[in-house]
Structure 1
């Protein structure tokens, strides 16, 4: 073999070796790039999963905190409701106690009013007994200005006299027979003879006018006989 042919053979061999190395290097570099990419993808997935897990965990914690706050709020609301109920109950009991005290006071006043002074006889022989009570009060009036006694059944003054007779005797004005109603012997005084419907018990009631307050009973005489019915 000639020297030139030997050199050409060596040169071709070296070229093939270099080409093979380049190819090998290219494959290795490609594999390295692929490995790096795979590592990056795996790392990204790991970190991303951790972030989502942390976010989910934070969400669960926040939800638990919200539920706890809601329960606390409900408990506070229940406590406040119980407190209001307790206060309302205490107020109700206080009102009931006050009402009972007022009722007791009214009852005591009624007892005082129901204990009049009773004496035998009266202004004439037909009087069985006379009843007086210093606790009697005026019955009130809707009239104003200077008072003038009016003995007219349609007048307000007459109707207020009937209220005074009812107050003094305890006979309901709608169940009362008025046998007589006239002047009591002085200005702003009146006297009435009345009885309860269907009853023979008859009373003569003396009343006087109190300015701004109405007619006030002075005394009640229980009659032996109804002297107005006989006349």
Structure 2
């Protein structure tokens, strides 16, 4: 066995061990959870979880786009509520975000998941975290292995120093963290970190909550 092959297999083994541990932790907290080794496997599982004819809200998630789910759902004829459509007005954007709160299925990523199964997310507007908690008939969360952290403190740090700066840079926002590459604890009018939620257990008002973990680094 070559060193490179052994290295790759070690990564796969580690991802599977962590994925299995977190999946079980999520189940103990009332979520429906599964682990997929590949992005393709996860894509197929998510599509199978969405009923024919269901309206689908899309949270602000790079992971969802990496999997090509938006395009495939449109091809299948689903009504899609996606506020990442280029050129829409602020008024149209707001209408779409509100419809995400009452859709049949809400698709979202996650900023951080602790080893013991808690979900940590930070929003600018708040529609994404709101839809995770209450409203849609079903929520499907998709997260790469890179979103798993040891504890809440590590999750909050990951959001501040990884997810938010990278997302701000992607959006070409001239925010302080996008310039520095990490959180500088700003208090500016365009501050991204405005609403942070920690979901300890599957929300009582959103019992149909499926989490699909993927053994690949995806999203921010």
Which structure: greater helix fraction?
1
TM tier, shorter chain? Answer: under 0.3
RCO (CA 8 Å, sep 6+): is it higher in 1 or 2?
A: 2
State the TM-score, normalizing by the size of structure 1. 0.24
Structure whose alpha-carbon radius of gyration is higher: 1
- TM (norm. structure 2) is 0.25
